[in-house]
Structure 1
Amino acid sequence: MAEASTKLTTSDGELGDLLKCPICQDVCEEPRILSCQHIACTECINNWIRAKKGQLWCPECNQQRELPAGGAESLPHSFRLNDLCGILKEKLESGEEGSNCKLHSGKPLSMICFECEVGVCDSCRTSTEHTGHMCADAKQVLELKADGKAETAKNYLIRIDQLKQELEKSKEDGLDVLRDFKKRSEFAHQRLLQEMEKNYQEKVKVLGNQEKELEEYVAGMRSFNELTKTQDSMDVSIVVDQLKSLPKEESLRPKTTSYLKVEMVHEYENAVLRWGDQVWQVTSDRLTAGEAIHLQLLLKDDRGRKVVTEREDVLSVEVCTVDKRTIPLEPQKQEGGHFTISFTPSFAGWYVLTAKAFDKMIPGSPLQLKVEPRGIEMKEIAGEAPSSQLHDVLKVGDNFMLVDKTVIMMDKNGKLIQSFENKDWYFYPYSIAMHKQCYYVTAMKGQVVIMYQANGKEVRRFGGDVLKRPTGIALDKEGNIYVADNQLSKILLFGPDGKFKEYVISTEPSRQTMSLNNPWFIKFNSKGQLIIADFENQRIQVINVQTGREIMSIMVMHEGQKMYCRGVDVDRHDNIYVGARADKSGNPAEGIFVYGPDGTYLGSLPAKDLHWSRGIHIAKDGQHDVLYVVDSSHKSVRTFQL
């Protein structure tokens, strides 16, 4: 292999390029000739073969060649070619110009003699020594050799350096992934510990309540024993007969509404004995918000006789409303020991009545009452603006935002106030939400979310790189934007700046029951939980957006038939209102169905002739909530007082 001091450059001439080893890039030393007529140093080609695992690949044309049995030493060589390389090397080392002829006054070596394997000038070609030899233009030969060159050793070194850099970058990326995984694992571990602690405290509380009930039961039995010893006038056989009349499977373990209760009545020598009898009687046919509810309560003594007393404080009753307020009620004493109790519930949901007689809780108390929604239909909103198919509605002050072919604002009389800016005819808006005086609209066919100022001017668009068919939209208190996509069947989260963050619902195997199928409208309740109208799955899903976990799933049914969920919203007490249809086409069964915060069915609104409902919006109106629902078939917005 040649020394580094004789390294060739482009200024050393064309002859030097022809005699250059493609491996070490120097003048060949003891050149060996491959079957493709390319040459290389003996030492270089030996190292090259070892690097190629014993195979012979031409370092210039990159073609595999046959390797003789004796290895590189058996490859043919040329003494003339070797001498020529030696001469050129000497000239380079001595500083002489290697591209000029020494015999003919420094004429340029413009030709190559293939038989002598040396560079010649024009005078050499016509001399006796080279007469009749095949010669060719040196420049052309150099260009032909350049076309078939393989990657040089220098290029290999450059590539190795690049691979090292890529490997180092991959290492850093891998470490970043591991660090992120560790962080997420620690977060999940902490959250799991918190949930376990919460479950533990809840179970401790339940066990404490059961222990308290057991203690009350034991105390009651002791009181009963004392009573039977001291009250000679009491007919114990009555108690024995009542106990014998109980079903055999009935156990004497303590229960909330079924236990032996003995109370002393001061006006009488005997006791009031109750064993799980129903003392409440609801006289109202249907419990509806806004309508008075009437109840009767009857007290009897141990012989089944009505208790009659002149005391005014014998009975006290209070009601816990859906908003967790406790209100005392005034029982009205009637003849024969009856008491009547009346109150008017303001909202739909569960009400709990608690009653005490002689300062002691009576059997059957507390009593739970399910109150259905009111649903008084008011004047519908039908605007003067042209409508192809309404999708969503949003009440802003005394005006209404309607999502139609575009986004428009109308007053309560249906008069058009303004139309929002639309720069793209391929718009097809679907749903609208509001946050801090700005409106956010999903463009289903435009595959984006558009943000508007209050004056209708477009601020920006986002989501075009990830959204396919956006439908429902909702914003949390921090301004994060949640978008349902019914083609992706996912909920996507965007930051307040419109940048995509993540998919909300996890796709882990353990959470496959949470998978969505064509979600439509979405809304937040007061707890920050996301309510999703899961259309094709015919259910309402409630999820924790922080963890992506399902909190509750409500299968929407009507007369034994599953319903396709469409619009959805919640009232001030987190009751869920969902517009649903029994069939995607052809079946007119459709309505607004109401569920409590715990998923309990509360009833439905009398929405007669509702057809192809879409978006639902609930707004406060003084002491009442008002529900607005889009009736796209009739191109109007129906209004119901709740």
Structure 2
Amino acid sequence: MASQAGRSDRAYFYTDYMDLKDAHDVYVYENRQEDIVKYTIVVIRDGGIFTINRPYIDATAVYEDTKFKPFAVAFSKDKFYVTATKTIQLFDSKFKRQDTLEDKELISPKGIYAGDNRLYVVNGKHEDPSNKTAIFIFDLDMKKISKFAEGNFVDPWSLKVNLTETMIFVSDTGAREVKIFDNERRKLVRTIPMPQHGGRQMQCRGLDIDENDNVFVALRVEGLRRQYECIRMYPKGVKYSYIFSKACHRLDLLKAFFPAENICTALKRMSRNSSIYSITKYFISFEVSITKR
């Protein structure tokens, strides 16, 4: 792989190379010991949890269970929270399972976010007729506090909350839009419709928010031979969006290796009149295009 950047900036992480097929979600765990900061990439997939200690690329199984069917992972206060089949599972920092939450209203838990004192989970689509999509809020001991936005979604996928925990973002792949809620008023305040490609509206799946409330969405359109995939950035308060990768549809996996704040810094240097920009430090020959919304 040709590189225009130094070795430390090269994109040399690949799920196939790490033998992690069908990874479903990822979290970058920051472990501080005195003046040393170590980063561990936590990957969940059917059958277990795996870790990769940067800069190494070997994956180590830290939890294995053939019945384990996880969807998303979140972290707060040395605890990992994982949504799985009809449950939220709690793991300690050594990946030993500590607790399992089952709730009769939470039939299909999908996206999850762990804040300083609250746990946010979106209940997704399910064939059970009694199931209703909604956002659930728990404390970090997994005691239910409230729920809202009942029936507001078609097929919700990912949930993220901004740094101040004032806004909740949910990618609704069924509705082809990102829904934004005011956390204090528990009210839908904005929707971002997904763009079209080849005459078809794109699906939104992976979702993340940086410290400046810029929204990053993983998009795709299925194809007979090859599906089109890209990552789109929606800057806060700007009526433009940016496509900066056409090589990955899993935003969370992308962010594990290329932190969003670095991407934002590069994008902010762009002129609004530009049409193509190359972020060679973080992406090797990936093109970035600007589109009016």
Runs of 4+ in 1 over 6 A off after TM superposition: 619-623
Contact 1:594 1:604 in 2 (8 A): yes
Matched residues in 1 for 2:123 and 2:10: separation? 30
Offset at residue 579 of structure 1 (A): 0.3
- The unaligned stretches of length 5 or more in structure 1 are 1-375, 508-514, 628-638
Could you say which residue in structure 1 is the equivalent of 2:116?
Answer: 477
Matched, 1:389 2:22: yes
Could you say which residue in structure 2 is the equivalent of 1:431?
Answer: 72
Matched, 1:592 2:231: yes
Offset at residue 421 of structure 1 (A): 5.5
3-state SS of paired residue (1:516): coil
- Indicate which of 450, 459, 478 corresponds to 2:98: 459
Alpha carbons of structure 1 residues 585 and 556: separation in structure 2 relative to 1, 3 Å: farther
Query: Per-residue CA shift, 1:166-186, capped at 9, x if unaligned?
Result: xxxxxxxxxxxxxxxxxxxxx
State the superposition RMSD in angstroms. Answer: 3.1
Could you say which residue in structure 1 is the equivalent of 2:174?
Answer: 536
- Indicate which of 489, 495, 498 corresponds to 2:142: 498
- Indicate which of 197, 221, 231 corresponds to 1:582: 221
- The unaligned stretches of length 5 or more in structure 2 are 1-8, 31-38, 127-131, 265-280, 289-293
Aligned partner letter, 1:501: I
Alpha carbons of structure 1 residues 384 and 617: separation in structure 2 relative to 1, 3 Å: closer
Structure with the larger strand share = 2
Offset at residue 478 of structure 1 (A): 1.5
Matched residues in 2 for 1:598 and 1:475: separation? 25
Could you say which residue in structure 2 is the equivalent of 1:516?
Answer: 153
Contact 1:401 1:407 in 2 (8 A): yes
Aligned partner letter, 1:573: N
Could you say which residue in structure 2 is the equivalent of 1:414?
Answer: 57
3-state SS of paired residue (1:581): strand
Could you say which residue in structure 2 is the equivalent of 1:123?
Answer: none
Could you say which residue in structure 2 is the equivalent of 1:556?
Answer: 194
Query: Per-residue CA shift, 1:349-375, capped at 9, x if unaligned?
Result: xxxxxxxxxxxxxxxxxxxxxxxxxxx
3-state SS of paired residue (1:625): helix
Matched residues in 1 for 2:260 and 2:86: separation? 40
Offset at residue 502 of structure 1 (A): 2.7
Matched residues in 2 for 1:598 and 1:555: separation? 16
Matched, 1:401 2:42: yes
Could you say which residue in structure 2 is the equivalent of 1:613?
Answer: 250
3-state SS of paired residue (2:262): strand
Matched residues in 1 for 2:258 and 2:225: separation? 36
Aligned partner letter, 2:113: A
Matched residues in 2 for 1:623 and 1:548: separation? 27
Alpha carbons of structure 1 residues 410 and 540: separation in structure 2 relative to 1, 3 Å: same
Contact 1:557 1:563 in 2 (8 A): yes
Q: Taking every aligned residue pair, what percent have the same amino acid on both sides?
A: 18
Contact 1:506 1:549 in 2 (8 A): no
Greater shift, 380-389 or 537-546, is seen at: 380-389
Offset at residue 621 of structure 1 (A): 7.8
Q: Which protein has greater RCO, CA pairs closer than 8 Å, 6+ apart?
A: 2
3-state SS of paired residue (2:71): strand
Aligned partner letter, 2:140: P
Offset at residue 620 of structure 1 (A): 10
Alpha carbons of structure 1 residues 556 and 621: separation in structure 2 relative to 1, 3 Å: closer
Offset at residue 537 of structure 1 (A): 0.3
- 1:627-638 matched pairs, under 5 angstroms: none
**Between Structure 1 and Structure 2, how many residues are aligned?**
243
- 1:59-78 matched pairs, under 5 angstroms: none
Matched residues in 1 for 2:175 and 2:259: separation? 36
**TM-score of the superposition, structure 2-length normalised?**
0.72
Alpha carbons of structure 1 residues 562 and 543: separation in structure 2 relative to 1, 3 Å: same
Alpha carbons of structure 1 residues 616 and 595: separation in structure 2 relative to 1, 3 Å: farther
Greater shift, 569-578 or 558-567, is seen at: 558-567
Aligned partner letter, 1:625: N
- Indicate which of 56, 72, 82 corresponds to 1:441: 82
